[in-house]
Amino acid sequence: MDQLLSPAAARVFFDGLRTDPRLDHPEGIALHPLDGSLWCGGGGGQLFRISPDGSGISTRAERPGGFVLGVAISATGDVVWLDALRREVLCLPADGGDVRVLCGPATPGVQLHYPNAALFLPDGSLLVTDSHAGPGVPADRPGPGVLRVAVDGDVSVWSGEDYDFANGIALAPGADAVFVAESAAHRISRVPIRPDGSAGARETWVDGLEEVPDGLAVGPDGALYVACYYPARLLRVGAGRDVEVLYDDPRGHVLANPTNLVFRGSELLVANLGRWHVTSVDLAELLEGAPS
C-alpha cells in the first residue's frame, strides 16, 4: 500500500512494558502545555505522566476498577481524563488540589453512557464525546453525542444528534468547528461552533472509510490526522477532504490499535491501546512547505 511516509518514520518513543509503573494499554494521550510532559490513561483506571524525553513514568492518579479513555489538558494545566467504566469525567487541578468529578452518573440533566474523548475549547469549556455504549446500551446503538462542561461547571448536551459511536474530537482550523470521528459508521463528521458557542448542524466531512477511525488531531499544516483502531494505520485528510494513508503497519507492532494522537511540533505522538507504548512519527519532511 502506498503511503506518505517511509517505514523508518515511525518508532517507539516510550516503551512502558517493563517500566514501573507499567504503561497499561494507553488510549488517551495529551501534551502538557506548561512542561511538555505526556499524559496517558490506563486500562486499570490510572493516569500516567511520562517525562518529555521519555526517560521516566509516574502514576498521578488511580481509581481501581476504571478504564481511562480520553485525556485532555487545559491551557492552565488542569488535567482531565474520562473513565468509561465509571462513566465519569475527572479533573486533576493544576494547583495540586484533590481530584474532582466534573460529570458522572449522578449529574442532573445529562446521561453519560461511555465517555470517550475530550477537547478543551479556546473559551476554556470542555467538550466530551459519548460513544453511547456501556451497561444496558448496545455498542452499535447510535445516540447523542457530545456534552459540554462549561467553565462554571454546568454540564449540558452540546450536540444532541445521534452519533454512531462518537469517538475522537479535534478543533478545526479557525476554531469555528470541531471534527468528530464516528467509529461504527467509518466516517468523520464536522460540527460548526456558532458565535454563541452552541453547536450547529452536523455534516459529514469524510465518509466510506475502510478503516475504523478513532483519534483525531489537526496538524501544523491544517490537515486532519486520523488514528485508525483497525487496521493499524494513520490517515491524513487535507482541506479538500482527500484521504491519504500517512503510515501503515501491517504487523501491528510499531502501531498497535492506535487510538489518540497529539502533535509536538512536527512529531506526532500516538497512544497504542493494543500494547504498552507510545509511538513517535516524524513528519518534518512531509510538513516542510506542504499545503493543507
Whether pLDDT at 44 is above 70: yes
pLDDT band per the 50, 70, 90 thresholds, residue 106: confident
Average pLDDT over residues 154-166: 95
Architecture label for domain 7-287:
6 Propeller (2.120)
List the domain boundaries for the chain.
7-287
Total-model pTM = 0.96
Question: pLDDT band at 141, cuts 50/70/90?
Answer: confident
Q: Which pLDDT does position 93 carry in this prediction?
A: 97
What DSSP assignment string belongs to the chain? ---SS-GGGEEEEEE-SSSSS---S---EEE-TTT--EEEE-TTSEEEEE-TTSS-EEEEEE-TT--EEEEEE-TT--EEEEETTTTEEEEE-TTS---EEEE-TT-TT---S-EEEEEE-TTS-EEEEE---BTTB-TT--B--EEEE-TTS-EEEEE-S-BSSEEEEEEPTTSSEEEEEEGGGTEEEEEEB-TTS-B---EEEE---SSEEEEEEE-TTS-EEEEEEETTEEEEE-TT--EEEEEE-TTSSSSSSEEEEEEETTEEEEEETTSSEEEEEE-HHHHTT---
